[in-house]
Amino acid sequence: MRAAIFDIDGTLLDSVDLHAAAWVAAFRHFGVETEPAAVRRQIGKGGDLLMPVFLPRERCAREGAEIEAYRSDLFKRDYLSRVRPFPAVRPLFERLRAAGLAVALASSGKKDEVAHYQEILGIADLVAVATSSDDADRSKPHPDIFAAVLERLGTGDAIAVGDTPYDAEAAGKAGIATIGVLCGGFPEADLSAAGCIAIYRDPQDLLDGFDASPFVRPPGGTR
């Protein structure tokens, strides 16, 4: 079976600014001032790769787990209730299922966050496989999370959908082409440079152009 593998934050949910704000607040709690725009550009990576951008590696080794736990609790307490879906996510998933594709989720988020996101999106009944940071030793842009999805799906015939260059880089290392979406805030040029084979504004735009999308007309061949 062919598959469509989706990132969640910034791809299906309008949550990137909220995650960035939570990281800025968490860093400040530990005495580190950061620029919100600089932090935002790192959203899409797991905390293991985000923190070393702003902290010395020795401090990450010493306090990284504590900082990430604080950030996670802060996000759930002060920001999670403000997360909203982008339009047309469920109709897009229904269209994919009708076209014979399995739908999977590949997120750098925590397992409980991914489960809650499926509730927010109303898509749990349409998702064949959902993976989280618990399923990968290394976060994006390493390919581990996509490798875990492919193993659980039992197929290598998949296309990923993501909003960051880190999604495209990670999927590419796992042998998966990526469709980019702009709703997470990364410039189109960055997504193209990372290897995205097509770029859409958001899930609604992908749904509207589905019949001409790589899901139906993949590069280099026909379905």
At 220, is the pLDDT very low, low, confident or very high (cuts 50, 70, 90)?
low
Query: Is pLDDT above 90 for 218?
Result: no
Query: Is pLDDT above 50 for 223?
Result: no
Query: Is pLDDT above 50 for 152?
Result: yes
pLDDT single digits (tens) 184-205: 999 999 999 999 999 999 999 9
Tokens representing 201 are: 């504004």
3-14+84-212: which CATH topology?
Answer: Rossmann fold (3.40.50)
